[in-house]
Amino acid sequence: MTDAPGARDSVDMRLRRGARPATSHPHPATAGHPTVLTGATVVLPTGTVEDGRLTIDGTRITGTAPENAQAVDLTGHWLIPGFVDIHNHGGGGASFTSGSVEDILKGIHTHRLHGTTTLVASTVTGDMDFLTQRAGLLSELAEQGEIAGIHFEGPFISPCRKGAHSEALLRDPDPAEVRKLIDAARGRATMVTLATELPGGIDSVRLLAEHGVIAAIGHTDATYEQTVEAIDAGATVATHLFNAMPPLGHRSPGPIAALLEDDRITVELINDGTHLHPAALQLAFHRAGADRVAFITDAMDAAGFGDGRYWLGPLEVEVAEGVARLLTDGTIAGSTLTLDRAFKRAVTVDGLSVEDAVTALSATPARLLGMDDRIGSLEPGKDADLVLLDADYELKGVMRRGEWLVGPQLH
Calpha distance 121→22 (Å, rounded): 18
pLDDT at 409: 82
| Residues 122/126/129/132 CA torsion (nearest 10 deg) | 10
pLDDT at 166 exceeding the cut of 80 = yes
Average confidence score pLDDT of the chain: 91
Q: What is the pTM of this model?
A: 0.92
How does residue 407 score in pLDDT terms, banded at 50, 70 and 90?
Answer: confident
pLDDT for 223: 98
**Confidence (pLDDT) at 68:** 83
pLDDT at 23 (0 to 100) = 39
- As a whole number, mean pLDDT of residues 332-341 equals 96
Q: Taking the mean position of all CA atoms in its chain, how far away is CA 210?
A: 23
Cβ within 8 Å of residue 357, ≥6 positions away:
290, 295, 343, 346, 347
Say whether pLDDT at 95 is over 60.
yes
pLDDT of residue 15: 34
What per-residue confidence (pLDDT) applies to 303? 96
d(CA 268, CA 87): 9
Q: Has residue 170 got a pLDDT over 70?
A: yes
Based on the number of CB atoms within 10 Å of its own CB, is 175 exposed (0-12), middle (13-18) or buried (19 or more)?
A: middle
Residues 307-320 have a mean pLDDT of 92
Burial environment of residue 150 by CB neighbours within 10 A (0 to 12, 13 to 18, 19 or more): buried
Lowest-confidence range among 61-70, 160-169, 392-401?
A: 61-70
Q: How confident is the model at residue 29 (pLDDT cuts 50, 70, 90)?
A: very low
Helices 224-233/254-261 angle, 10° precision: 40
Calpha distance 118→114 (Å, rounded): 11
| Nearest CA among 77, 78, 103 for reference residue 90 | 103
User: What contacts 392, CB < 8 A, 6 or more positions away?
Assistant: none
**Taking 60 as the threshold, does the pLDDT of residue 237 lie above it?**
yes
Contacts of 105 (CB under 8 A, 6+ apart): 19, 20, 21, 141, 146
- The residues near 74 (Cβ < 8 Å, ≥ 6 apart) are 37, 38, 39, 40, 388, 408, 410
Average pLDDT over residues 353-379: 98
pLDDT of residue 32: 60
Whether 80 has a pLDDT exceeding 70, the answer reads yes
**408 upstream amide cis, omega within 30 of 0:** yes
Q: How far apart are CA 364 and CA 373, in angstroms?
A: 12
Average pLDDT (78-101) is: 96
Terminal-residue alpha carbon distance, the chain: 46
Check whether 197 has a pLDDT greater than 80: yes
Residue 3: per-residue pLDDT: 32
For 41-75, write each residue's pLDDT tens digit.
999 999 999 999 999 999 999 988 887 889 999 99
- At 48, phi and psi to the nearest 5? -95, 135
Catalytic residues: 298
Stretch 379-401: mean pLDDT, rounded? 98
> Phi and psi at residue 361, in whole multiples of 5°?
-95, -15
Q: Which residues of 293-321 are buried (b: 16+ CB within 10 A; e: fewer)?
A: bbbbbbbbbbbbbeeeebbbbbbebbbee
- Alpha-carbon distance of 272 to 33, in angstroms, equals 38
Residues 241-264: what's their mean pLDDT? Answer: 97
- E-assigned strand segments in 63-188: 70-73, 78-81, 83-88, 90-91, 94-95, 116-123, 149-153
Q: pLDDT at position 25, please? A: 40
Residue 410's pLDDT band, with cuts at 50, 70 and 90, is: confident
Band the pLDDT of 345: cuts 50, 70, 90: very high
Q: Are 311 and 299 in contact (CB under 8 A)?
A: no
Task: Provide the residue type at 47 as one letter.
Answer: G
> Over the stretch 97-121, which tens digit does the pLDDT of each residue have?
998 999 999 999 999 999 999 999 9
Residue 132, Cβ density class (10 Å: 0-12 exposed, 13-18 middle, ≥19 buried): middle
pLDDT reading at 16 higher than 90: no
Res. 318: pLDDT tops 90: yes
Q: What is the pLDDT of residue 151?
A: 98
Q: Which of 25-29, 255-259, 326-330 has the highest mean pLDDT?
A: 255-259
Residue 24 clears pLDDT 50, i.e. is over it: no
